[in-house]
Amino acid sequence: MSRAGARFGAVALPLSGVAAVVVVWEVASRLAANATLVPPPLTVWRAFAAMQGSDLPADIGASLLHLAIGYGLGVGAGLALALVAASSRALEAIVDPFVEFLRPISPIAWIPLAILLFGVGRAVPVFLIFYASMFPIFVATLDGIRRVDARLIHAARSLGASRRLVVTRVVLPAALPSVIAGARLSLGVAWMSLVAGEIVGGDAGIGWRILWYQEFFQMDRVMAAILIVGVLGLGADLLLRALQHLARRWNPAAAESAA
């Protein structure tokens, strides 16, 4: 393929995929012939445009705030726990079983208890996001630290590095790719928990707004909000993917250990 052809393919192919979905959607809405049951693409687009002038910015802002607080706390806690577990065998033996016990209990299962403890409101999605994002980064970080090449640690120690220096200059850089990969996994489950938490137990945010529009049977706006959830989630993942790419360039070890 020529260079122009390749560039054409890079833009045209994804566009054609999107176009195909829109066409199928349009056909489905005409077959259903009911703008509530299957709102046509154009109607949803208009709803999206109308939402931009009203609640949408505030809703997205609220969701991002939930995400920032919950994800920040969750990732921080997961990282801290992983470092604690890595620092001594005894602590690891204590922390690990607890994590393995809690991990299968999905954040979703916490929703009723969270509603009961915190009441319907912001705390529910924030708690769920916190809980959801803690485990993937914990597991990935601990695994990354455990898989640090022992010879690198030996090399640093025999070159005169103190324990602190071994941690900051060898263990952490070597584990960094795993940490970022874990952060990406965490973000994925955090996003799912955000939507679930806002829908079932929240009082603000884009997920909560989906249910709000449903109350008023504005299905075009419901569809628009659902699509916004997808686009925002995708955007967040792309952001972390870019970070992963950046880390890989700065730290060639990432390329090797990612393989």
Partner 1 sequence: MTGGMTRPLSRRARVLLPLSVLLVVLASWEAAVQATRTQGLVPHPGGVLWSGAQLTANGVIFQAMSGSLARVLIGFLFGACVGIPLGLAVGAFGTLDRALRPVLDALRSIAPIAWIPMAILWLGVRGNAALFVVAYGAVFPFIVNSSQAVRQVDRRLLSAARALGAGRWVMLRSVLLPSALPMIFTGARIALAFAWASIIAAELAVGIKVAGHGRSVAGIGQLMVETLYVKRDVDALVFYMLVVGLVSFAIDAGLRRVQERLLPWKSH
Partner 2 sequence: MEKPLDELVRLQGVGMVYQSSRDGERVEALAGIDFSVRRGEFLTVVGPSGCGKSTLLSLIAGFAAPTSGSVLFEGRPVDGPDPARGVMFQEYALFPWRTVAGNVEFGPFARGVDAATRRARAQTLIDLVGLKGFERRYPHELSGGMRQRCALARMLANEPTLWLMDEPLAAVDLQTRIILQDELLRLWGDARAGAQRPTVMFVTHGIDEAVLLADRILVLGRRPGRIKEVLEVDLPRPRAALRGSAEVARLTAHLWELIRDEAAQAIAEETQ
Among 32, 102, 255, 258, binds partner 2 (CB under 8 A): 255
Least separation in angstroms between CB 34 and partner 2: 59
Least separation in angstroms between CB 79 and partner 2: 19
Least separation in angstroms between CB 78 and partner 1: 18
Least separation in angstroms between CB 66 and partner 1: 13
Among 1, 18, 252, 259, binds partner 2 (CB under 8 A): 252
Q: Which of residues 95-154 bind partner 2 (CB under 8 A)?
A: 149, 151-152, 154
Q: Taking CB under 8 A as the rule, does residue 170 contact partner 2?
A: yes
Q: Which stretch binds partner 2 (CB under 8 A): 3-11, 115-123, 164-172, 233-241?
A: 164-172
Q: Taking CB under 8 A as the rule, does residue 46 contact partner 2?
A: no
The interface partner of residue 159, options being partner 2, partner 1, none and the CB cut-off 5 to 8 Å by kind, is partner 2
Least separation in angstroms between CB 22 and partner 1: 10
> Measuring CA to CA, which residue among 66, 101, 85 is closest to residue 191?
66
Among 160, 215, 216, 235, binds partner 2 (CB under 8 A): 160
Q: Which of residues 62 and 195 has its CB atom nearest to partner 1 in the complex?
A: 195
Q: Are 194 and 205 in contact (CB under 8 A)?
A: yes
Least separation in angstroms between CB 62 and partner 2: 39
Q: Taking CB under 8 A as the rule, does residue 93 contact partner 2?
A: no
Tokens of 83: 């470092």
Q: Taking CB under 8 A as the rule, does residue 165 contact partner 2?
A: yes
The interface partner of residue 200, options being partner 2, partner 1, none and the CB cut-off 5 to 8 Å by kind, is partner 1
Q: Taking CB under 8 A as the rule, does residue 157 contact partner 2?
A: yes
Q: How far apart are CA 195 and CA 186, in angstroms?
A: 14
Rounded (5°) CA angle 84-89-90 = 85
Q: Taking CB under 8 A as the rule, does residue 161 contact partner 2?
A: yes
Residue 143, Cβ density class (10 Å: 0-12 exposed, 13-18 middle, ≥19 buried): middle
Task: Report the interface residues with partner 2, using CB under 8 A.
Answer: 149, 151-152, 154-162, 165, 169-170, 173-174, 250-253, 255-256
